[in-house]
Amino acid sequence: MTPTPWRSDDLLRRVVKNSGYLFSSSSLGIVLGILTSLFATRALTETGFGVLGAIQTFAMVADKLLSFRIGEVVVKYTGAALSKGDKPTAAAVFKTAALTEASVSLLSYLLIVALAPLAAQWFAKDASLAPLFILYGLIVPAGLVYESASALLQVGGNFRAQAALNLAQNLLTAGVVMYAFFAGAGLPMVVIAYLAGKTLFGLGYAFLGLRRASALFGAEWWRVSLRHLPPAREFWGFAFSSNFSGTVNLLVRDSDILWVNYFFSPAQGGYYKLAVSLVGYMLIPIDPLIKTSFPEISKAVAEGAWARLKRLLRRLTLLSGGFTLLFGTGLFLLAEPLLFRWVYEPKYLPALAPALVLWLGYGLANTLFWNRPLILALGEPFFPLLVSILAGLGKIALSLWLVPRYGMNAQAWLMSTYFILSIGFISARGLYLLNNHSPAH
């Protein structure tokens, strides 16, 4: 069988084309993100930067604690229904997802308000900062239906508007952070900067998603009966497995800055936050591929297009892996002589060691970003949950033992090990299932 040239690979071209809109804004987003981080670190002390990380991470943790990762439900079931021309089912799924997400968002904000005093005491080491935790927590109700809307825009192929909105968020945040630096406004204004960007982002996605729903399902889509939903056991089983998976990630992956702040100090948390931010720039160009490839992977599985799917995964891995390796090489060779000498102040150099360690784990996750979409599309939502729980329990146990003794570098090693084990097993299982579904040659 003659291999399909890259230029003639329609599936890859569609993914890359759709990613292009998001990648354009992501490229500018990297520049704006570096500027934002640069001015934030200079507007704040190491301690203030660590407190900012605690405020942001706590809001994210409270949000994800109850979140259903409902976007995966929308991509899987709405996309499948639309491919069959079943608009009532597609509309019912989106309606259920949006209502569920909105309800959970409001509950999450109430949780933030209730726990803010404790969070300020434990993670910022200053109970008087509780109002800032509550203020920044407004990003949660602002993103009332963000996951549902974002997923529907992915399914509907509406990527240009998402790119414009991403860019607008980055511009707004960068502008207000720069103002905070030049005005000497300090932590409250920097918090407001990130809040403003996230609020624009959340409300913008809600507007775009609801408008897209009318275009896809008809103007009266919100009146559709929920009786059109897929079988309850299958539908809610998938939703709850995604929710539990998100909760595991929350405890294991997304709360590292809180662990460092709690065991040590906001200053150490500031270094760790910068390390995570540096590695995060590696993820930005690949994120568009995640958003655009999930619907295509699900569609290929539904159509039984196994050869096309395998080819897509190979080529996506080469693209993401090549960029990840290039980024890691640059970080290793250039960060100390350039980044910490001319961009960030030398006092932030302790962030480099955990950043290099985190690159190992995040790099594998970046390269094999398709691992979870593939296994979800192949109908095994509980396997990644099981793997994440087992690997996560080991990480938490070792964190309680090693992090208080060896500091943030131990936290970075544990995080990378968690990624390598969990992503490795999930990817291997997904490829095994894919090969078993494929016809033998």
Instruction: Tell me the residue length of the chain.
Output: 441
Rounded-to-integer distance, Cα 275 and Cα 356, Å:
8
Rounded-to-integer distance, Cα 432 and Cα 428, Å:
6
User: Tokens at residue 175, please?
Assistant: 């502008």
Residues in contact with 72: Cβ distance below 8 Å, sequence separation at least 6, in sequence order: 151, 238, 242, 294, 376
Question: What are φ and ψ of residue 411, in 5° steps?
Answer: -60, -40
User: Tokens at residue 189, please?
Assistant: 């204004």
- Residue 222, Cβ density class (10 Å: 0-12 exposed, 13-18 middle, ≥19 buried): middle
Structural domain contains residue 328: yes
Structural domain contains residue 5: no
Residue written as tokens 């997904």? 430
Rounded-to-integer distance, Cα 64 and Cα 250, Å:
7
Rounded-to-integer distance, Cα 54 and Cα 34, Å:
19
Structural domain contains residue 174: yes
Residues in contact with 217: Cβ distance below 8 Å, sequence separation at least 6, in sequence order: 87, 90, 91, 94, 224
Its domain, for residue 420, covers 11-437
Residue among 51, 56, 31 at smallest CA distance from 41:
51
Provide the Cα torsion 95, 63, 76, 290; round to 10°.
Answer: 130
Structural domain contains residue 3: no
Question: 275 vs 269, 272, 352, CA distance in Å?
Answer: 10, 5, 6
State the helix-helix crossing angle for 266-283 and 10-43, rounded to 10 degrees.
Answer: 150
Structural domain contains residue 4: no
Residue among 336, 261, 306, 314 at smallest CA distance from 49:
261
H helix or E strand, kind and range, residue 285:
none
Residue among 385, 405, 133 at smallest CA distance from 252:
385
Structural domain contains residue 409: yes
* Residue 69 backbone class (left: φ over 0; alpha: ψ -120 to 50; beta: rest): left
**Which stretches in the chain have pLDDT values below 50?**
1, 440-441
Rounded-to-integer distance, Cα 294 and Cα 2, Å:
26
Structural domain contains residue 273: yes
So what's the pLDDT on residue 302? 79
Structural domain contains residue 393: yes
Do residues 169 and 201 touch, judged by C-beta distance below 8 A?
A: yes
So what's the pLDDT on residue 440? 43
Counting Cα atoms < 13 Å in the Cβ hemisphere of 362 gives: 25
Alpha carbon 165 to chain centroid, angstroms: 16
DSSP assignment of 68-92 equals --HHHHIIIIIHHHHHTT-HHHHHH
Do residues 128 and 120 touch, judged by C-beta distance below 8 A?
A: yes
Do residues 24 and 16 touch, judged by C-beta distance below 8 A?
A: no
- CA dihedral (208, 212, 213, 219) positive or negative: positive
So what's the pLDDT on residue 245? 61
Do residues 331 and 278 touch, judged by C-beta distance below 8 A?
A: yes
So what's the pLDDT on residue 422? 93
- Residue 240, Cβ density class (10 Å: 0-12 exposed, 13-18 middle, ≥19 buried): middle
pLDDT tens sequence across 285-325: 787 777 777 778 887 887 888 888 898 899 889 989 999 99
Domain count, the chain: 1
* Residue 344 backbone class (left: φ over 0; alpha: ψ -120 to 50; beta: rest): beta
pLDDT tens sequence across 67-98: 666 777 887 788 778 878 888 888 888 898 88
Do residues 206 and 219 touch, judged by C-beta distance below 8 A?
A: no
Residues in contact with 159: Cβ distance below 8 Å, sequence separation at least 6, in sequence order: 18, 19, 21, 22, 153, 288, 291, 292
- Residue 379, Cβ density class (10 Å: 0-12 exposed, 13-18 middle, ≥19 buried): middle
So what's the pLDDT on residue 363? 95
